Amino acid sequence: MITPIPGNATAATSATVASDAPQADAVLSSDFETFIKMLTTQAKYQDPMEPIDNSEYAAQLAQFSMVEQQVQSNDLLKALATQLGSGGIGQLAGWIGMEARTTGPVPFDGSPITVLPTPPANATAMELVVFDAQGREVDRNPLPVSDDPVLWAGVQQSGKPFAAGQYSFSVEGEAADGSTLPSKAAATYARITEVQTNGTDPQVVFNGGAQVSASSITALREGA
């Protein structure tokens, strides 16, 4: 059973945090001191009859300078990566407690779920199809050809409510000639309870345990 909704409001939120990056000054300073000691020792014990040419000293200094610059560049890149990673998780931390729009599975606990259908192109009729956590179709209801949000009550045709669990939605359309159009996933809202870092793509965990990529979230709104 579905119920049309007159409108739907969303709100976006973001937060940023800064993180101090570790420095490698001590290591770099130690390397430089070691180089100077080696250079001094080399000059002290050189053969006075065949002294080392000044150009060789200059070449050694230039080589160390190049290594020093490379070390500093690597440290800077590591610092930037750390700062970006910390900023990402800090921003996502502000999402906890909010409701996010997603096309992934969302928890059903007996309360109606807001569904935002996307009509397939050239559809003259369409239906909302509901799937359980195993991907099995469990419900199907006709929809007006519109992207207006609707409420899925979670009630079977017999009037018995569906069991609590994870459900996902899609829209199937029909063209004017009666042919079936490619289905489209329908978005819903679910409350965020946790955020996790997973490489370069943080994960969002919804109430009930469903987990999706943070990059798949298309909208946020205040939690009910």
Domains of the chain, first to last: 25-93 (no CATH), 97-221 (2.60.40.4070)
Distance CA 80, CA 77 (A): 5
Residue 29 in this model has a pLDDT that exceeds 60:
no
N residues, the chain = 224
Mean pLDDT, to the nearest integer, of 156-168? 92
Q: Which of 19-23, 175-179, 217-221 has the weakest average pLDDT?
A: 19-23
Closest CA to 201 of 189, 191, 215: 215
Which pTM value belongs to this model?
Answer: 0.58
pLDDT of residue 16: 33
Residue 63 has pLDDT above 80, yes or no: no
- Does the pLDDT of residue 184 top 80, yes or no? yes
- In angstroms, the CA 53 to CA 44 distance is 14
Q: What is the DSSP string of 169-224?
A: EEEEEE-TTSPBPPPEEEEEEEEEEEEE--TTS-EEEETTS-EEEGGG--EEE---
> In the predicted model, is pLDDT for residue 218 greater than 90?
no
The per-residue pLDDT for 123 is 93
